[in-house]
Structure 1
Amino acid sequence: MTTATPMDDPTLAYYEDQAETFFAETVDVDMAPLYARLLAHIPPGGRILDAGCGSGRDALAFRRLGYAVTAFEASPTLARLATEHCGLSVEVRRFQEIDWEDRFDGIWACASLLHVPMAELPEVLGRLGRALKPDGVLYASFKYGVGEREHRGRRFTDLDEAGLDALIEAVPALAVVESWVTGDRRPGREGERWLNAVVARVANISSDCRQTNRLARCRVCP
């Protein structure tokens, strides 16, 4: 697969151009309440992938909590800044290039999958699912809404609860554990809404669970 460059990916070009500003605006945002929703499903010291790590803020937080962290970021400049911040060697990689298998107890994709085109999300989620260990979990967040849009040089895929269910229905062996809506964690932007979700890789998913895609509704799986 050919790696995208800023010349053919306007969103990547945006982050390359705005890397230092984006880093400064996001590196100190308190995400602890959201960490807790993922970490409730991960064993102490487990392996976490920070997928699209941005400033490296969350990779550093997980590392300080004693987890074994791997991180990647599509923007080379942001990857360098994140490496300096979190003390990990942040890989330059896109979601479409993920090739790990059965490696992580948890994946953290905070405000990163939302830049993947809707048509590519099932394949990307399939890659993320394969990167999880059996019964591993993925946290993801999207701007709350419906459809795809461009905003100030970046493209976004917005999701609501129905959109999330439809998306996960297209991905074998993944199911939604829970989803919830929150305000933005950045000061002054609390009115912006986000759809948060914890999604699990399920090794032996039943047909009933496959129909609903939500483990909380399942009464068949052991």
Structure 2
Amino acid sequence: MNEAYYRQHAQRFYDDTVNVDMAALYQPFIGCLPPGARILDAGCGSGRDVKAFSKMGFAVDAFDASPELVALARRLTGKPVEQMRFDEINAAARYDGIWCCASLLHVPEAGLPDVMAKLAKALKPGGVWYLSFKYGSGEREKEGRRFTDMDEAGLRRIVDKLNGSFKQNSVTGESGNRLAANIEIKKTWQTGDLRSGRSDERWLNAIISNNPN
């Protein structure tokens, strides 16, 4: 469903998002990172944030599931943006920060714990992670796209499941999962949509950390 939407509307999505001023959302994230940190932009869309973080001096890897958006992001950034899905992530303790701006919202709610576990494992101990969802609860379809909306309580439930899974796997001796065993929500806040004419839409933003054991 989402793949078909972006196949047909990639250029329109790019045009609507590439010039949005994200400075206010960058600050809580980059303020937690060391100079020259390595960032993963997971679901990078237009490549807007890849370009911004690179200009700030960070080392940035990026991917998106849409081949059309990957091509546009490569053209904008000059970076080797990968075409990849969330369930294909296999990095371990590689990133100081992960940026998931309006990307996890397309993952079905039942699949979020597994996807977020892969992302959490990709974080270094002490790493931080930004994510955003349209504010609400439950799943819905709009104009050919599937959305999973999220509020603070829903995010807390998913993080609790995530930590419970890591704890269980640690007991069974699966060493890969011990890389991320204490995920903590550091901050949540709500914002309006930054795109022109959509300020009535609300977003849940969060900073999550991977605390060392």
- The CA deviation at 1:132 is 0.4
Structure 2 residue runs without a partner (length 5+): 164-181
The answer to whether residue 189 in structure 2 is matched with residue 198 in structure 1 is no
C-alpha RMSD of the superposition = 0.6
- Who is 1:70 aligned against? 61
Q: Say which of 178, 186, 205 aligns to 2:187.
A: 178
**Alignment partners' CA distance in 1, 2:90 and 2:7:** 24
Runs of 4+ in 1 over 3 A off after TM superposition: none
SS in 2 for 1:170: helix
SS in 2 for 1:129: helix
Structure 1 residue runs without a partner (length 5+): 1-9, 205-222
Aligned pairs for 1:96-115 within 5 A: 96-115=87-106
- The CA deviation at 1:12 is 1.2
- The CA deviation at 1:40 is 1.0
Q: Say which of 108, 112, 115 aligns to 1:117.
A: 108
Counterpart code for 2:128: V
- Who is 1:133 aligned against? 124
Q: Say which of 12, 15, 31 aligns to 2:6.
A: 15
Which of structures 1 and 2 has the larger relative contact order (alpha carbons within 8 angstroms, sep 6+)?
2
**Alignment partners' CA distance in 2, 1:118 and 1:192:** 20
Whose helix fraction is larger, Structure 1's or Structure 2's? 2
SS in 2 for 1:122: helix
Deviations 1:48-89 (A, max 9, x none): 000000000000000000000000000001000000001101
- The CA deviation at 1:118 is 0.5
Q: Give the TM-score normalised by structure 2.
A: 0.90
Deviations 1:133-164 (A, max 9, x none): 00101100000001000111100000111111
**Alignment partners' CA distance in 2, 1:31 and 1:95:** 23
Counterpart code for 2:40: L
Deviations 1:97-154 (A, max 9, x none): 1100010000000000000010110011110010000010110000000100011110
| Number of corresponding residues | 195
Counterpart code for 2:198: R
- Identical-residue share of aligned pairs (%): 55
Counterpart code for 2:141: E
Counterpart code for 2:144: G
Counterpart code for 2:57: G
**Alignment partners' CA distance in 2, 1:161 and 1:112:** 17
The answer to whether residue 150 in structure 2 is matched with residue 159 in structure 1 is yes
- The CA deviation at 1:13 is 1.1
